[in-house]
């Protein structure tokens, strides 16, 4: 009998799909990952789902869009181990923290992209990781056009990058302040708040457990971006969440 695996639509190298991957892996849920290339992704997603952002999770005839909705579904469908605190007050607090990090994610992404998107060959290679060689070649050729659209779409520019850097610092300060007592943002165990905070902040230190690494040697823009954060104590929290809780991939090939 064919197994009905949940199907996760994603970019390999992206923060919001990472929230969904992490939740599924954390709960040991075998799932299929459908990976798309930034740019052409819209042509696949729009006719099928009527939106072009991911993650999108398909399971049992349901289509879940938006990382918060996907994680809520994952939590209800596969409750163990839990990502939502049992205590209602703590649960509300964890969901509020998730929302805050979800809201600042685009600003942080804008700031990071501002520094490393100009490295054409490298950026195209990172986005096309895992695709067939011919696709990588075509993508590298077309990348300057794709990048122009990305810059417009995500409003990538100097002012936005400055705001993004300020918010990144604020977010790193936040995790240091809130995780001092127990090591976690809410209560004394790993929750959706930590999963979201660590995911959104992973570009500041690229923890080795992140499933899509930016290969070395990294171009100047990347190095500059990473150097900016390297002495912030919040990086210890991000690395610890990844090291202690990221777990193994439960992706299956069909």
Ligand X SMILES: N[C@@H](CCC(=O)N[C@@H](CS)C(=O)NCC(=O)O)C(=O)O
**Given the rule CB under 6 A, which residues bind ligand X?**
11, 14-16, 42, 52-55, 66-68, 102
Q: Between 54 and 161, name the residue whose CB sits nearer to ligand X.
A: 54
Q: Between 12 and 91, name the residue whose CB sits nearer to ligand X.
A: 12
Q: Between 51 and 180, name the residue whose CB sits nearer to ligand X.
A: 51
Q: Between 52 and 119, name the residue whose CB sits nearer to ligand X.
A: 52
User: What are the start-end ranges of the E strands in the chain?
Assistant: 7-10, 32-35, 56-59, 62-65
Minimum distance between the CB of residue 88 and ligand X, rounded to whole angstroms?
Answer: 23
User: What are the start-end ranges of the E strands in 53-203?
Assistant: 56-59, 62-65
Q: Reduced to 3 DSSP states, what percent helix, strand and coil does the chain have, rounded to the nearest 5?
A: 55, 5, 35
DSSP string covering 181-200 = TTSSSSTTS--HHHHHHHHH
Q: Between 55 and 234, name the residue whose CB sits nearer to ligand X.
A: 55
Minimum distance between the CB of residue 2 and ligand X, rounded to whole angstroms?
Answer: 28
Minimum distance between the CB of residue 53 and ligand X, rounded to whole angstroms?
Answer: 4
Grouping H, G, I as helix, E, B as strand and the rest as coil, residue 31 is strand
Minimum distance between the CB of residue 67 and ligand X, rounded to whole angstroms?
Answer: 3
Q: Between 213 and 220, name the residue whose CB sits nearer to ligand X.
A: 213
Grouping H, G, I as helix, E, B as strand and the rest as coil, residue 61 is coil
Q: Which residues contact 36 (CB under 8 A, 6 or more apart)?
A: 9, 10, 11, 44, 45, 54
Distance in angstroms (rounded) separating the CA atoms of residues 92 and 205: 29
Minimum distance between the CB of residue 15 and ligand X, rounded to whole angstroms?
Answer: 5
Beta strand 7-10 pairing with 56-59: antiparallel
Distance in angstroms (rounded) separating the CA atoms of residues 132 and 141: 15
Minimum distance between the CB of residue 102 and ligand X, rounded to whole angstroms?
Answer: 5
């Amino acid at each position: 009998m064919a197994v009905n695996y949940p199907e996760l639509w994603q970019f390999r190298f992206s923060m919001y799909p990472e929230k969904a991957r992490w939740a599924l892996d954390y709960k040991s849920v075998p799932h299929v990952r459908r990976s798309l290339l930034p740019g052409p992704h819209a042509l696949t997603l729009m006719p099928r789902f009527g939106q072009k952002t991911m993650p999108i999770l398909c399971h049992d005839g349901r289509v879940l869009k938006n990382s918060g909705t996907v994680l809520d579904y994952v939590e209800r469908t596969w409750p163990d181990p839990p990502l939502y605190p049992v205590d209602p007050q703590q649960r509300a607090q964890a969901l509020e923290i998730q929302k805050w990090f979800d809201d600042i994610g685009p600003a942080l992404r804008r700031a990071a992209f501002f520094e490393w998107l100009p490295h054409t060959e490298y950026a195209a290679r990172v986005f096309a990781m895992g695709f067939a060689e011919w696709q990588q070649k075509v993508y590298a050729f077309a990348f300057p056009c794709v990048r122009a659209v990305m810059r417009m779409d995500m409003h990538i520019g100097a002012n936005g990058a400055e705001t993004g850097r300020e918010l990144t610092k604020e977010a790193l300060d936040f995790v240091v302040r809130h995780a001092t007592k127990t090591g976690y943002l809410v209560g004394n165990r790993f929750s959706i708040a930590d999963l979201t905070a660590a995911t959104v902040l992973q570009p500041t230190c690229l923890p080795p457990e992140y499933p899509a690494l930016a290969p070395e040697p990294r171009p100047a823009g990347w190095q500059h971006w990473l150097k900016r954060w390297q002495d912030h104590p919040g990086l210890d929290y991000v690395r610890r969440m990844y090291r202690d809780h990221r777990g193994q991939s439960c992706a299956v090939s069909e």
